[in-house]
Structure 1
Amino acid sequence: MRCLKHLYVTDPRADKQRIQETKGGLLKGSYCWILKNDLFQRFRDDPQSRLLWIKGDPGKGKTMLLCGIIDELEKESAKRLSYFFCQATEAQLSSATGVLRGLIYHLILQQPSLISYVRAKYDIPEEKPFESINAWVSLTDIFMDMLNDPALEDVVLIVDALDECKTKNSELLDFIFKSPSRIKWIVSSRNHCPDIGHRVRNATQTAKLCLEDIESTISEAVDGYIRHKVDQLTREKNYDDKLRHAVQHYLMSHANGTFLWVALVCKELADPRVPRRHMLTKLASFPAGLNQLYERMMEHIINSDDADLCKQILAIASVVYSPVTLKELISLVESLEEFDQDELKEIIGSCGSFLTLQKGVIYFVHQSAKEYLLDKASNQIVPSGTAHQHHTIFSRSLLVMSRSLRRDMYDLHHPGTSIDDIRQPEPNPLASVRYSCLYWVDHLSAAISDRTSIPIDDLQDDGTAHQFLSKKYLYWLEALSLLGSIPKGVVAMTKLETLLKGSEGTLLLDFVRDARRFILAHGRVIGNAPLQAYASALTFSPRRSVTRRLFKGEEPSWIVAKPTIAEDSDACLETLEGHDGGVNWVVFSPDGQRLASASRDKTLKVWNATTGHCTATLEGHHGWVHSVVFSPDGQRLASASRDGTVKIWNATTGHCTATLEGHHGWVHSVVFSPDGQRLVSALRDRTVKMWDVGTGHYQVTLEAHGGGVRSVVFSPDGQRLASASHDGTVKIWNATTGQ
């Protein structure tokens, strides 16, 4: 089903399997203690219990504990269970939108009738509700409606490593605590997560399980895990009883209740290159503590024959925005081009135990491993700084894309071929450059944080970026379409234009501005049919468009009578369409990232100011919406309507949080005070009303105008108000006394 395919971001079941395989399998003895834990039993059995927060230091086994809980709860056939594993190193697994997409997807697989909630939002014309840049409002609406479905009973939702959700983490927590009370949540995180802790302390029917508070229980579980691992080593390495006992004793006395430490040490002991006669010497070289173990692993790498290659690989893995495949790694590291896949796997195996390879994708064995490299070993793996490493990836990305990108990479031939009808060829010509296509501008932006890292020609006319775009821009757009990532191109061009501030009059800036117009105008069509980049997109671009002139040779020769198109683009950068009536008001958010519009069609719309996509339609008014305003922190919207009400909305979720009634007639405009604590409305009945935003209570009415009041504004210090009226006057008021 198409909408389910577009909803998909990951299959949590596959993630769980990958995690368990990476960690050597799920051992029941390592988690079965939780089933007897009083706190867990109360949470599981009490219908009023809403949330269980499991927290602990890195390596304490939180993820595998949740895997075990999942297995046990899945045995209860009456339960509907959905789960998600956050991962900071993967962009789609470290965002709140990714979490909701994964949870919704997994629930639908179990109860297919729930797809109706997704389809209701998906089928709205001109909307892209699941694009990561605009998805949050649509997804929260879908999921909230789904969770309120009375047919969905006995639901448990599990989110692992909530602290690794880096995008919209606070909004995700809001959603969790606002979800229906009958829904149970289990979340895990590290100890130092003040936002989670604050919400748990201030919420009812929640419980906190700190693994450090049950040290003896965790130590027993770790000891059981050690016995299991030593049994494996005994079989594989033919230990005698004396050696077996010595290894087990050392591990138990140095593990400090940390599963990850045991796993990393046992992985090295299992290396075929470690003979049994050297086992005790090898064992004694492992210090207690994760950071100390990581330090030893780093020393081993530095002294190895593959030291330079390993450091290059670790440097790449530490700064990429998403885990890379072996093919992508080769494209990013020139010195790896001479190696075949088997040799490359050996080299990755030489990177200590920092990395693991799963189905051709390179992952960190644990988030703490990445943090160690960046915090403690950055001078060894990125001696010139992370900005320089970002620039290296940027430069290699341009090189490999310039080599690989061409017209019609999938040999589609027909410009009308729909993206839904395309089958990925084998071998896939985009396999090695996928990462570069998606993230080259992000690495350039990160590199510019240190200007000394950027050669002077990179962002100049005829520099590396200019040469790439002038020769490969349309091919890059085709590739983004094939990768399902046209919105990424819009963001990239916007970011590149921002990087070029101060470069007025340069050919590169002119091109980037035109390229952004081009993708905004034609991105939807190209996203649906990749080869339209060369057909309708060029044909319907202004004749003097920089993009059209540079790629004139790509225009279709079979179009004989070409349409009459303006010579130049007009001053308008973009037209946002979607309202069914006149638009009365528009306002930017304080950070400039969003727009809000108020319309005679009785709705408000929130737009992404970069892509031009509508992110939410707010419905609830029963008359024209005259005006809309963002709160100073950008978290709320207030709207004034002809229906005589002011509504306050959550600007992220789109939910109406309050309706202020008591106006006698139309409300023309509304404004927040600079501190966001008060709201003032201007009325047709010749009055101005002041409200307390926190309580929604009316405070005072200001009367003196002889005609309807059209607008009102606070002074920057919030001490005064000014109101404008049809009576031809402007009045200034004391905002405290109303005089």
Structure 2
Amino acid sequence: MTSTTSNIQFGDAVSSVQANNINGDVHIGRHENTLDRLPCAEDAPFNSYARQHEHGCLSDTRVDLLQEIHSWADGQDERCIFWLSGLAGTGKSTVARTVAHSYYTNQRLAASFFFSRGGGDVSHAGMFVTSIAVQLADNVPASRCHIRDAIAERSGIARQSFRDQWHHLILYPLSKLREATSYILVVDALDECDKRQQYPNHRAAASRVRLCVLLTSRPEVPIRHGFGQMADSKHKDVVLHRLSPLVVDHDIGIFLEHWLRIIAKDCYYEDCWPGAETIKQLVQSVCGLFIWAATAFRFIQEGGQFAKNRLRIVLKDSAVTDNSSEDSTSSEDSGTYNQREILPEKQLDSIYLTVLKRPVRQYTKYERKKWYTLMKEILGAIVLLYSPLSATSLSRLLLRSIEEVYRTLHELHSILDVPQHSTYHIRLHHPSFRDFLLNKDRCRDTNLWVDERQAHTALADKCIQLLSSLLKQDICGIGNFGARAAKMERKQLEHCILPEMHDIQLRDNDKHYLHWLEALSWMGKVSKGIFAISSLESIALDGDCPDLYAFIHDMKRFALYSRLPIELAPLQVYSSALVFTPMNSIVKKHFADQLTQWIKNNEWSAYLQTLEGHDNSIFSLVFSRDSTRLASVSNYKKAKIWDVRSGKCLQTFRVYNDLVAFSHDLTRLASVLQDNTIMIWDTSSGACLHTLGGHGNVSSIAFSHDSMQLASASRDGTIEIWDASSCVCLHRSEIYNNDFIVKAFSHDLMHLALVSNSTSVIKVWDASSGTCLQTLNSDCKYVFSIAFSQNFAWLASALRSNTVKIWDISSGACLHTLNGPNADAISVAFSHNSMRLASASASDDRVIKIWDTSNGACLQTYKGHSRAIKSVAFSYNSMQIASASRDKTIKIWDTSGSACLWKHEDHKDNVSSMTFLQDPMQHILDTTHCRCVRFDFVDSRTKRYASHPLVTLHSLTWTARGLSNNTIEIQDKKSNACLKTLKGHRDSIQELVLSHDSTRLASTSKDNTVKIWDISSGTCLQTLEHDDSDISEVFLFNNSTLLVSTLVDSTTSIWDTKSGTRLQILKTCSLFFLPRILDLLYPEGTLTQKTTHCSINIAADHTWITRHDEEWLWLPAEHRPGHFVI
């Protein structure tokens, strides 16, 4: 095959598969093999241990087909994908194994992935890319170092989108190979991949190396549709059940002759047994299905010395099926179609019925009834469970003896792989048996047919009993609340989570909810659990069960809010998750006996969850029309699509600059290149759909709310409206001059709002006619944001003057002036029904407010971001709002309630320092914007005082203020007269701390010194040098005889203020909860005695409270401390 650069478009072929991301970062140790840290499906390769008994094609069979595949892979065919489709049982997997083995032998197999429904990790695409990467490193050694580099550079690669994994772990390493060669990737049984959704398209150039993909599947509609979206020049298709019947019958004849000859030899039959005529009868019964031939062979072989009798049974039963099929199809016009499509399925059903009925032929009526009950229970579990189980595990689950399991399956080895070792997994020989057993129309004997719904219910009951006996707190016996899930072997837990949660009755399982979440976290399946809870919530809502709905809804809130710590460290479900859950939470009340009594909010706040993953400030948000997904764009060329229900990042895109727009169905993304070309991309495949040119200096782009049109505006005053599907320009006009810029388009793109760069004017234009409809005077020279209401009746503007205005577009009147934020309002957004307006502040206020558009009343206030908010967006159903911030996070808020997130809060700016007054029930806080507040704990009254941002007060009769000239000024509070000026620091003052008796003042400076001053005389009593380390915090103790300072490197020093001597250096994380220091302050012996117990500290990054040097309690972002007082 050619070695020139070509596009690898594997994602096009598998657009029907869901790429489930693996939860958990890849932690890389200093000496460990980074490849060992990639999650890998062990049963995926063609030569895995579980597949060792699966055979390839016999010699002289599939000759033409295999030659065609080899010619495609080895020749000059530019089609990168070979799609081999066929009905169940036509031999697709056998061909795939044969091809994989051939290229593996020739060292040209990149990797193989054999999907299997009910096969655990190989039943979904969650480990698809990472498994291929691990195999690629082994099969193509030259790629190993490049794959390791990709893992080292991106520790969280296993949790990233399928697109990013494919690019960094597969395409990039292949593109770095020097040899000009081609490799083949074999993907079998794509139709058996669970929960299929649209698969990303991985269109990328791989220089010098070509990756050929052999893909097999049944011809299911979603997969056919995926190929239908691709150009014929990109894929080659072969349909197995459309091959010449003569060729197929010839191959099956060779197959039967080979295996029946083995039976004849084992049973000492004559060499000519069973004879050409019998082989011919069997071939006629096969109807092109190799799985029929294989099942019949195994059934005959199991007969041992009675193999001849088994053969007669097969011939007799197949003859009956032939006759019934001919009768049923004789009146059909499409007889050929029925013979090719319907008869094979009937023949397959017949052989399965023959195998299943064989054990009961000699049983009494009582014995037969008992056997049928046991058989349906065991087979039902085997075909329905998410992952295969061993005989031992199956017996535990079903509460049956292992002897009962083996006796029931003893004569079913022709349809089941039953290992002799009781700890090895029992597997189906072929997935068609599952389809047969669960279909009442195919499995015509009601004694054998498994009712899927009833079987699931029975399994759920069994699982509940098993869970009750197995699940408990700290199931692994770790004993460390900070133990990471990513470092834990998960296989030992898989037997605990057998059913889907849909099947579990919560009235019996609610006591194990936390245990269940812990187990899910160890296995990296928290997102899957949240999906299951959401499904249960919908069922409970439709079922008119208010109590059950309330409990499940609270379960979802609990899991969403605490998803980050639970995924990180599973035992945090009993620590951080419960501690920071509101006191009135149903989950918290239910598990009150497991909760340490912490004081927290009584009710759930409006805050739902935080989405993290961007590495820079986020400036744009778009909800999908179904309100389940959210698109975000950050600075420095990155966009993401999130699943709002689970908090999972579905896709990540690279964009060229900040001019990016998502369609509201999130199927397309428009971005502007440096040359002002507009590119429209398919978000599912990554393919460039259209390129739009002609603009000069594009300033704004937007999709209409129905996603049917795209508008673009340039600084030369040109507006163009495009059809988003065909990208035909529908309208073009020049309607404004360079003094104006476009701030917003209406939802139908027919109107736009312009803002002048030099005046306070806002103009509303009709895009089609070029007419100015309205001129609004905002009284502010800078307008941050503009939003149109859905009905185009109103316009909202966010102004630098700390106000938001709502305008009537038709009259030009200002309906409401909202003086909400105490900082610039940078973003506004209307709800879809136009009844509410959201506004977000730009600076350190970090407040989101929800307004009633009819009367201007503030309905709700949200706060939780640590930095300025850049964008807000309502969900289409108006039930949620998303906020994006410079803190690199997105927060999702519930707008349906009216709970206030922050209580007893009177500050409008950051708190920069604080101290206690001598009255223990009062303290003073200093904020960053010249306000000082005295707070009374008893009656919650506050008093405000003007101050410099660096001031910390202790007495209300005077003020200490750090000035810009590196001096400290003591002022009389009443007269503002300067009492003293303290000089000595060589750089700016950072913090001032007063002693409790008001006689000493400690000051820290950027010159890395702490000075201790006598307030009455203004004398510098002591200068404490801190080398080259920045000082974080200082405190005075013991009547100012001791000073404790912490540095940014987490070093804590204790000083004698009289002598200036450093008494001790401690390696700790913070002064918060520092018993070790308190021991030194109040010692039984000397100050320098060594303490024997470990402290409780806060980690340097303020994310954990540590206990005995172990991470103990994870702190949510909104509860992480900024300053401390001891």
Partner of 1:109: 138
5 Å-filtered alignment, 1:295-334, equals: 295=350, 297-298=352-353, 301=356, 304=360, 305=368, 306-330=371-395, 333=398
Contact 1:312 1:381 in 2 (8 A): no
Count of matched residue pairs: 689
Is 1:69 aligned to 2:134, yes or no?
A: no
Q: Distance in 2 between matches of 1:532 and 1:192?
A: 43
Partner of 1:8: 40
Following TM superposition, by how much is the alpha carbon of 1:500 offset from its aligned partner in structure 2, in angstroms? 2.9
Partner of 1:605: 640
CA gap of 1:600–1:56, structure 2 versus 1, over 3 A, is closer
Could you tell me the TM-score, scaled by structure 2's length? Answer: 0.55
Is 1:392 aligned to 2:458, yes or no?
A: yes
Partner SS state of residue 513, structure 1: helix
Question: 262-271 vs 213-222, which deviates more?
Answer: 213-222
Partner of 1:681: 712
Contact 1:588 1:595 in 2 (8 A): yes
CA gap of 1:417–1:733, structure 2 versus 1, over 3 A, is closer
Partner of 1:244: 274
Partner of 2:122: 93
Q: Distance in 2 between matches of 1:113 and 1:668?
A: 46
Partner SS state of residue 60, structure 1: coil
Partner SS state of residue 427, structure 2: strand
Following TM superposition, by how much is the alpha carbon of 1:508 offset from its aligned partner in structure 2, in angstroms? 3.7
Is 1:574 aligned to 2:609, yes or no?
A: yes
Residue type of the alignment partner of 1:596:
A
CA gap of 1:276–1:545, structure 2 versus 1, over 3 A, is closer
Partner SS state of residue 186, structure 1: strand
Following TM superposition, by how much is the alpha carbon of 1:92 offset from its aligned partner in structure 2, in angstroms? 4.1
Partner SS state of residue 182, structure 1: strand
Gaps of 5+ in 1: 445-463, 557-561
Partner of 1:208: 238
Following TM superposition, by how much is the alpha carbon of 1:57 offset from its aligned partner in structure 2, in angstroms? 3.3
Is 1:185 aligned to 2:247, yes or no?
A: no
User: Which structure has more strand as a fraction of its residues?
Assistant: 2
User: Pick from 462, 466, 469: which aligns with 1:403?
Assistant: 469
Could you tell me the TM-score, scaled by structure 1's length? Answer: 0.81
Partner of 2:669: 637
Partner of 1:440: 501
CA gap of 1:138–1:563, structure 2 versus 1, over 3 A, is farther
Contact 1:689 1:702 in 2 (8 A): yes
CA gap of 1:253–1:186, structure 2 versus 1, over 3 A, is same
Residue type of the alignment partner of 1:484:
G
5 Å-filtered alignment, 1:580-595, equals: 582-595=617-630
Residue type of the alignment partner of 1:386:
E
Is 1:371 aligned to 2:429, yes or no?
A: no
Q: Distance in 2 between matches of 1:61 and 1:418?
A: 44
Partner SS state of residue 138, structure 2: helix
Contact 1:668 1:709 in 2 (8 A): yes
Residue type of the alignment partner of 2:116:
Q
Question: 251-260 vs 653-662, which deviates more?
Answer: 653-662
Is 1:140 aligned to 2:166, yes or no?
A: yes
Q: Distance in 2 between matches of 1:52 and 1:642?
A: 38
Is 1:690 aligned to 2:721, yes or no?
A: yes
Partner of 1:451: none
Note the alpha carbon deviations across 1:452-489, whole angstroms, 9 max, x for none.
xxxxxxxxxxxx414522x2122112212232322222
5 Å-filtered alignment, 1:718-737, equals: 721-726=750-755, 728-733=762-767
Is 1:348 aligned to 2:381, yes or no?
A: no
CA gap of 1:36–1:431, structure 2 versus 1, over 3 A, is closer
Following TM superposition, by how much is the alpha carbon of 1:671 offset from its aligned partner in structure 2, in angstroms? 0.7
CA gap of 1:124–1:544, structure 2 versus 1, over 3 A, is farther
Contact 1:297 1:353 in 2 (8 A): no
Partner SS state of residue 285, structure 1: helix
CA gap of 1:250–1:240, structure 2 versus 1, over 3 A, is farther
Gaps of 5+ in 2: 1-32, 323-343, 361-367, 756-760, 774-1126
Residue type of the alignment partner of 2:754:
S
Q: Highest CA radius of gyration, 1 or 2?
A: 2
Partner of 1:157: 185
User: Pick from 409, 418, 426: which aligns with 1:357?
Assistant: 418
Partner SS state of residue 352, structure 2: helix
Contact 1:684 1:710 in 2 (8 A): no
Residue type of the alignment partner of 2:158:
F
Contact 2:437 2:449 in 1 (8 A): no
Contact 1:644 1:666 in 2 (8 A): yes
CA gap of 1:384–1:182, structure 2 versus 1, over 3 A, is closer
Partner of 2:539: 499
Partner SS state of residue 541, structure 2: coil
Note the alpha carbon deviations across 1:507-530, whole angstroms, 9 max, x for none.
443433333333334333333433
5 Å-filtered alignment, 1:221-232, equals: 221-232=251-262
5 Å-filtered alignment, 1:414-453, equals: 414-422=480-488, 428=492, 430=493, 432-436=495-499, 439-441=500-502, 443=503
User: Which structure has more helix as a fraction of its residues?
Assistant: 1
Partner of 1:472: 512
Q: Distance in 2 between matches of 1:653 and 1:120?
A: 26
Following TM superposition, by how much is the alpha carbon of 1:401 offset from its aligned partner in structure 2, in angstroms? 1.4
Following TM superposition, by how much is the alpha carbon of 1:734 offset from its aligned partner in structure 2, in angstroms? 5.0
Partner of 1:459: none
Partner of 2:575: 535
Question: 116-125 vs 577-586, which deviates more?
Answer: 116-125
CA gap of 1:524–1:643, structure 2 versus 1, over 3 A, is farther
Partner of 2:989: none
Q: Which has the higher contact order (CA 8 A, sep 6+)?
A: 1
Contact 1:29 1:225 in 2 (8 A): no
User: Pick from 702, 705, 708: which aligns with 2:733?
Assistant: 702
CA gap of 1:327–1:652, structure 2 versus 1, over 3 A, is farther
Q: Distance in 2 between matches of 1:564 and 1:601?
A: 41
Following TM superposition, by how much is the alpha carbon of 1:249 offset from its aligned partner in structure 2, in angstroms? 4.9
Residue type of the alignment partner of 1:465:
L
Contact 2:501 2:529 in 1 (8 A): no
Contact 2:40 2:127 in 1 (8 A): no
User: Pick from 705, 712, 735: which aligns with 2:745?
Assistant: 712
Following TM superposition, by how much is the alpha carbon of 1:233 offset from its aligned partner in structure 2, in angstroms? 0.6
Partner SS state of residue 401, structure 2: coil
Q: Distance in 1 between matches of 2:724 and 2:735?
A: 24
CA RMSD in angstroms comes to 4.0
Q: Distance in 2 between matches of 1:311 and 1:475?
A: 31
Identity across matched positions, percent: 21
Partner SS state of residue 29, structure 1: coil
Following TM superposition, by how much is the alpha carbon of 1:108 offset from its aligned partner in structure 2, in angstroms? 1.9
Q: Distance in 1 between matches of 2:614 and 2:197?
A: 31
User: Pick from 224, 228, 243: which aligns with 1:198?
Assistant: 228
Q: Distance in 2 between matches of 1:576 and 1:724?
A: 31
Following TM superposition, by how much is the alpha carbon of 1:105 offset from its aligned partner in structure 2, in angstroms? 2.6
Q: Distance in 2 between matches of 1:653 and 1:192?
A: 20
CA gap of 1:735–1:179, structure 2 versus 1, over 3 A, is farther
Contact 1:47 1:182 in 2 (8 A): no
Contact 2:82 2:214 in 1 (8 A): yes
Contact 1:28 1:68 in 2 (8 A): no
Q: Distance in 2 between matches of 1:500 and 1:290?
A: 39
Q: Distance in 2 between matches of 1:130 and 1:212?
A: 40
Question: 267-276 vs 503-512, which deviates more?
Answer: 503-512
Partner SS state of residue 275, structure 1: helix
